[in-house]
Structure 1
Amino acid sequence: MAIDLQKLGSKLAQYRGQLEQSVSEVASSTGIDANRLAAIEAGQAGPTGDEILILADHYRCDFKFFISNEQVAPFQQTETLYRAHSAAFTKEDRRAIQEFLYLCETEDFLLRELGRTTKEFSYSPTGYYFKGNGETAAARLRTVLGYDDRTVPRNVYADFRSVGVHVFRRKLGNSSISGLFIMHPVAGKCALVNCSEDIYRQRFSAAHEMAHAIFDSEQGASVSFERPDASDMLEVRANRFASCFLMPPAFLARLPAPVQWADSDAQRWANELRVSCVALAIALREAKLIDETTYRRISSLRVPHDAKIDPELPESLNATQHRRKAHLLELGLSNFYVDLCFEGFSTGVISIGRLAEALLCSHGELAEIASLYGQTLHGH
């Protein structure tokens, strides 16, 4: 089937528009002449095979999308976000979101090609009991994951991936954005957690986006802010889900009387639950276990940064490894995703060139990343 040049040009122009890039900026980045790019976008010229690959790499998408008249991309979903919250997304954030979607699609491809399966989980809300549905869904998901009321989830990212949600932590410039959810037309449910936030806040944000994946996937896309509108019941439900998933009411009911806690007790329990003191205080108030004075006192506390535990940055790393892995994590490269990419490479699912693209790096950087994650490039 011949490539429809008008459709191809429209796709390229739409990508460029969402990233807020000029033709000259794309030309500078890709090495393709600006006049030629303009002609391709106008449907007046057909790109060469190499130009298709270069542009696909620049826009972080599957090159097949450009040469297929059927394949789709999450334009509608991202357009919804940008139209509703245009001021919230910087140019750099739009680029980060595009790379996040590319990682989701790559992860989905590798999971299917490697025959990985996920647990089944779905929940149908009843009535308009937003908080109640959030609480019930959290309890049911914990059961599916094998948790009892006393168990504190240690790696929520792995938990949510295990039920088919693509979860990536990615640094965004706008610190008021906690995360976002996108229903990708190919990859399905995708959640981005802003890696600029506090470690424990990221856990809560991941659970919050999991709620959107459960309840709100038909909306296509949503963005969650650090201080949401209190009248937005979808956000209220997502927060209640996150709170009950991380801090089950039955767990809280067994705690020693919180009104008698010293500050160190509150900090210790927050750290045990892997949540902020603010999140713990809200959950205790919701459970009617503390008064307003105790709520304000616990909310004002902070778990010391060096006491916090990140499951994807273990203490076994030395300082150099920790710094390097933290940087890669900010780009979205989780241990799970990196291991998946190397497994795809070692089994012949992807080439070494595709491996470098999937890891957002050059060929020269592959050996360093392989060493950092205990992988090998030998024999390929």
Structure 2
Amino acid sequence: MSFDLALFSSKLRRCREQFEKSLVEVTTATGIPENILAALENGERQPTGDEVLIFADYYLCDYQFFISNERVASFDQTETLFRRYGEEFSKEDRWAVQEFLFLCECEEFLLKLIQTNTYSTFSFLKRGNNYRGQGKEAAKALRKYLGYASNEVPMNIYEDFRSLGFHIFRRQLGNSNISGLFIKHPIAGKCILVNYSEDVYRQRFTTAHESAHGILDDDREFVISLKTDKKKDVEVRANNFAADYLMPPEFLENIPDCRVWTSEKAIEWASKLKVSTEAFANALKSANFISEDVERQIKAVRVPKRLKVDPELPESLSLGSRQRRQELLKIGLSNFYVGLCFDVYEQGFISAGRVAEMLLVSKHELTEIASIYGRTIRYGN
């Protein structure tokens, strides 16, 4: 296959523009002089093999993306996403999305290396045009598929949806209007980003919500969930899926005096379900257990922050370890993903340097992270 200089130049320029990088910024990060960058982007110079690898490393993608027509990167999806919702994504958030997709690719690669990506296959056939009903029926079908009793409440939803082959990462975004994002990556598959800036209970709901998009909207390249768009049909459907998956009506019905509520009782049961009082009130109203007045009363109270514990930040950790792990969570490094990286490293499939790349840290920081997670980096590897 002959090298297409025009294709390479176009992708290189569009990448820089997509992430709002200046020539100076790219030069500083890559070490490639500004005049050479300009010549490469204008198709006036053919890149060396090393330069292609440097650009692939910088933009966190497979080098083949720059030199072939193969779909080995999510560039088309993100380019369309940022063009359509450009005002919602700051320069920092655009790069956060790119790092998130890089982690998804790495996770898929690692799972294949140790042959544990034997996912359960779940599909749901949508019938009719009742979006609310589709969401509820899909939630009921998935709960049955995963073996939950009709009134059983799922607690580890991250594990539930990972078992379906979804790549789920929580990542801090600057825009609070973005709850989450679903992208169908050409290599990694279904990728879910949850805004870590949100309340920890809200993050659980968003995970189920975005996973609903992965199940019910998988004919789309991407779906972004904006708080200002919650009345859209696909958002209504995803919200009903998330509500019934996390708070099945059969469970709500078995709550003692499920039609009588005080502020204390609402906080108690919302906390047990690990959902916000707003989501809890919506579910009770949807099941016709409460009036609109009671719904407003429940929404007016809040579960105290001290009762909310991030599942990846157990209280058994020291304060220092919890703070450091939280910093890592903000850039998308879940306990599952970090553990997977070290597992594959310890089995000899990848080097310590590759682990550092996959964790978006320096080799020095890698030693610190290994210590936090009770792992060891072998000297010289």
Normalised by the length of structure 2, the TM-score is 0.96
Conserved? CA contact 2:135–2:237, under 8 Å: yes
> In the alignment, residue 182 of structure 1 is paired with which amino acid?
I
CA distance in 1, matches of 2:286, 2:21: 46
Q: Which residue does the alignment assign to 1:249?
A: 249
Conserved? CA contact 1:80–1:221, under 8 Å: no
Please report how far the alpha carbon of residue 12 of structure 1 lies from its aligned counterpart in structure 2 after TM superposition.
1.5
Q: Which residue does the alignment assign to 2:149?
A: 148
Conserved? CA contact 2:135–2:241, under 8 Å: yes
Q: Which residue does the alignment assign to 2:92?
A: 92
- Of residues 256-265 and 163-172 in structure 1, the stretch that sits farther from structure 2 once superposed is 256-265
> C-alpha deviations, 1:4-58, integer Å up to 9, x for none?
3222222211211110112122112222111111112223223334333332222
Please report how far the alpha carbon of residue 263 of structure 1 lies from its aligned counterpart in structure 2 after TM superposition.
1.0
- Of residues 195-204 and 139-148 in structure 1, the stretch that sits farther from structure 2 once superposed is 139-148
Q: Which residue does the alignment assign to 1:188?
A: 189
Please report how far the alpha carbon of residue 122 of structure 1 lies from its aligned counterpart in structure 2 after TM superposition.
0.9
> In the alignment, residue 240 of structure 1 is paired with which amino acid?
N
CA distance in 1, matches of 2:173, 2:76: 21
Conserved? CA contact 2:71–2:186, under 8 Å: no
Conserved? CA contact 2:64–2:72, under 8 Å: no
- Of residues 70-79 and 107-116 in structure 1, the stretch that sits farther from structure 2 once superposed is 70-79
Q: Which residue does the alignment assign to 2:331?
A: 331
- The verdict on how the C-alpha distance between 1:204 and 1:189 changes in structure 2, with shifts beyond 3 A counting, is same
- The verdict on how the C-alpha distance between 1:205 and 1:269 changes in structure 2, with shifts beyond 3 A counting, is same
Matches within 5 A, 1:276-315: 276-315=276-315
Q: Which residue does the alignment assign to 1:35?
A: 35
Matched, 1:10 2:10: yes
Q: Which residue does the alignment assign to 2:348?
A: 348
> In the alignment, residue 16 of structure 2 is paired with which amino acid?
R
Q: Which residue does the alignment assign to 1:121?
A: 122
Conserved? CA contact 1:154–1:311, under 8 Å: no
Please report how far the alpha carbon of residue 75 of structure 1 lies from its aligned counterpart in structure 2 after TM superposition.
1.9
CA distance in 2, matches of 1:375, 1:65: 34
Matched, 1:47 2:70: no
SS in structure 2 of the partner of residue 16 of structure 1: helix
Please report how far the alpha carbon of residue 247 of structure 1 lies from its aligned counterpart in structure 2 after TM superposition.
0.2
> C-alpha deviations, 1:204-232, integer Å up to 9, x for none?
111100010001121111110124242x1
Coordinate RMSD, CA, aligned: 1.5
> In the alignment, residue 185 of structure 2 is paired with which amino acid?
H
SS in structure 2 of the partner of residue 218 of structure 1: coil
SS in structure 2 of the partner of residue 159 of structure 1: helix
SS in structure 2 of the partner of residue 181 of structure 1: strand
Unaligned runs of 5+ in 1: none
Q: Which residue does the alignment assign to 1:102?
A: 102
CA distance in 1, matches of 2:192, 2:280: 23
CA distance in 2, matches of 1:344, 1:47: 33
Please report how far the alpha carbon of residue 71 of structure 1 lies from its aligned counterpart in structure 2 after TM superposition.
4.4
SS in structure 2 of the partner of residue 193 of structure 1: strand
> In the alignment, residue 135 of structure 2 is paired with which amino acid?
G
Conserved? CA contact 2:180–2:210, under 8 Å: yes
> In the alignment, residue 135 of structure 1 is paired with which amino acid?
K
Q: Which residue does the alignment assign to 1:176?
A: 177
Q: Which residue does the alignment assign to 1:66?
A: 66
Conserved? CA contact 1:313–1:325, under 8 Å: yes
Normalised by the length of structure 1, the TM-score is 0.96
Please report how far the alpha carbon of residue 92 of structure 1 lies from its aligned counterpart in structure 2 after TM superposition.
0.3
Q: Which residue does the alignment assign to 1:238?
A: 238
- The verdict on how the C-alpha distance between 1:171 and 1:280 changes in structure 2, with shifts beyond 3 A counting, is same
SS in structure 1 of the partner of residue 173 of structure 2: coil
Q: Which residue does the alignment assign to 1:213?
A: 214
> In the alignment, residue 78 of structure 2 is paired with which amino acid?
T
Unaligned runs of 5+ in 2: none
> C-alpha deviations, 1:272-324, integer Å up to 9, x for none?
00100000000001111011111111001111111012211112111111111
> In the alignment, residue 359 of structure 2 is paired with which amino acid?
L
CA distance in 1, matches of 2:63, 2:354: 12
CA distance in 2, matches of 1:106, 1:317: 27
CA distance in 1, matches of 2:58, 2:10: 16
SS in structure 2 of the partner of residue 191 of structure 1: strand
Conserved? CA contact 2:7–2:67, under 8 Å: no
CA distance in 2, matches of 1:130, 1:69: 37
Conserved? CA contact 1:267–1:303, under 8 Å: yes
CA distance in 1, matches of 2:71, 2:179: 31
Q: Which residue does the alignment assign to 2:168?
A: 167
Matched, 1:318 2:318: yes
